[in-house]
Each structure stands twice: as structure tokens, then as C-alpha cells.
Homo-oligomer: A and B are copies of this chain.
């Protein structure tokens, strides 16, 4: 990747990029609903606005970024195709976005990817290249494919167009619900948080954007404290969508400037939040998608009485695991 242009703000992506992404996504991504719960408002002591990206196409916000990236490729690049490695939501996001845009997609997935996720990805017409996650390096495999076949790599978060695309979730939330005092965003690689923080700073001046990480995947928390990108051991957490060992370069450059802080939640708190969303909101959240709700329900966020925006980022979780989480305890 060539070095991205740095804008006037000194950041590699701007709020204007998020607005441009929204134009590309109009009529393609769902404008997901903003749900309210009086019970939650009463518990928290302020109005809470829940942006339901679990109700997005492919069941997660990831479609926004993948589509915004692939939509900007030339006709020739699309003909050659794109490549991504993921066993999770990014795989389906790239596969679906590529199909919508007439591009060929190659997804590099571990051999032991759950059948449902595999089928969802092939269902969108993607070609799967398997690798052994214990003996092979997915980065090397993807890079070799890109090189040999001239495929364009679509990274899961550390990419300007991906960051701008993910930010459209907060753009829609603020357009629909008005300015926010606080915005809570899950942090994995940091692309969603970065994009959302950029546009929130523009549309809701003075907003505190707080990133939420699982305790066992606190790489951005540590990196912000250290003032540089810190790598942690591969996280073991229920929040598999946030099991990222190190923040991205671009995402960290943005998040260190724009995030107010990071709040950590435990796996037990995530289970509670998933169950609460099931019982009270009647929606399905995957643990990663429930991190901000967990932070709210446990009282870890210091708030005033102004509106709190929450990005519920995804709902892709196998039925067996979901059944276990809602009936535990």
C-alpha cells in the first residue's frame, strides 16, 4: 500500500470521506434502525440511542467499509478481483460487496472455518482459498494471491476507504437521532471507532467518543496509554470480532487523537449484555456487538443526562453458542 495522503487535519481520513462513503452506500447498505428502550434509559439515567448494525446486511457493520473500498476500484481492477482474509464478518462483507459491484472475490479462510460461515461466504459467490491456521501464514498466502493474480487486497480495518465506510454508521445515527453527548463504539482493529469518531467530531462537536474493548483484547487501551501501537498476545475472548492483537496504523493515528478513552468489559459482562438484549430488546447480538451495551449496563461509563449513542456492531453468532449464552447462569 502506498502512504496515504495526509489531510489538513493531519489525519489520514476526514469527515468528508465519511460523507462521500455515505453517498456510495445509499440504497445499497441498510439504513439500520435506531432503537430505544425506556427501561435502558431509566437504568442509565439518560436517553440511549441504539444503532443496530446487527440488522445491517451480512449482520454486521463490516459491509459498509468493504463496499466503500471496492466501489472505488477501477473497472479494470474489479475485473481482476479482490482478496481478503477473514473467517468472520469481513469475509462475508467483502464477498457480498464484490458481488454487488461485479468484482470477483477470493477469500482466504482457515480450513476449520465453521460450515455456516463458509456457506454464507460461498453463497455470495466468493472463491475460497483454505489454509491451515497452525502451519501457514494467511498474510503471506493473501499477498502471494494478490501478486500472482493481480488481486486488490481489501484489509479488514487499516485502510482509508474501509475506515470512511464504517464511519457512516455514526453519520446515520447522528442524522437520525441528533447530536450526542457520548458515543460508545466497539474497538477491534479500530476502523469502526476511527470512522465514527471522525464524523461524530464534525456533526456533534464536544461529543466524547469512548471505545469499548474486551479485557482480553485490550491492545488499543494499552496503546493509548503507551502513546504507541502495542501488540498483545492473540486475545482469547468471547468477543471474537475484537480478537485483534494490535491496532492498525491508520486507525491508531485517528483514534489516539479522537477517542476520549477506552473502557474494558469482561466475558461475563458480555454474556449479561447479550442476554439483556435478547430479553429486553428482542434482538440478537454477537458478543463483540454487545460490548458497548455491557459497558453501559455495568455502569462503567460516566455520563451526564445528555443523549448516548451506542453502536451495536453485529449479530453473527451460531445458534448453539447463542442458546448457551442466553440460558447460562
Contact = CB atoms under 8 A, between A and B. Distances in A.
Between A279, A282, A316, the greatest number of chain B beta carbons within 10 A of the residue's beta carbon is seen for: A282
A282 B279 contact: no
A177 interface: no
Interface string A65-107: 0000000000000000000000000000000000000000000
A288 interface: no
A316 B327 CA distance: 15
A286 B275 CA distance: 16
Interface in A251-272: none
Interface in A194-221: none
A55 interface: yes
A273 B324 CA distance: 20
Nearest to A323: B323
Contact of A35 (B33, B282, B315, B316): B33
A38 interface: yes
Interface residues of A, number: 26
Given A38-B57, A57-B38, A284-B284, A279 B319 contact: yes
Contacts of A324: 323
Interface string A162-196: 00000000000000000000000000000000000
A234 interface: no
- Give this chain's copy count: 2
Nearest to A57: B38
Contact of A323 (B36, B282, B316, B326): B326
B326 A55 contact: no
A322 interface: yes
A323 B327 contact: yes
A225 interface: no
How would you classify the secondary structure of chain A's contact residues: helix, strand, loop or mixed?
A: helix
A283 interface: yes
A282 B282 contact: no
Between A33, A279, A285, A326, the greatest number of chain B beta carbons within 10 A of the residue's beta carbon is seen for: A279
A282 B36 CA distance: 17
A285 B324 CA distance: 18
A59 interface: yes
A285 B285 CA distance: 14
Interface in A44-65: 54-55, 57, 59
A324 B323 CA distance: 7
Given A33-B35, A36-B30, A282 B54 contact: yes
A55 B327 contact: no
A304 to B, nearest CB: 23
A320 interface: yes
A282 B33 contact: no
A54 to B, nearest CB: 5
A20 interface: no
Contacts of A36: 30
A283 B30 CA distance: 15
Interface in A275-329: 275, 278-279, 281-285, 315-316, 319-320, 322-324, 326-327
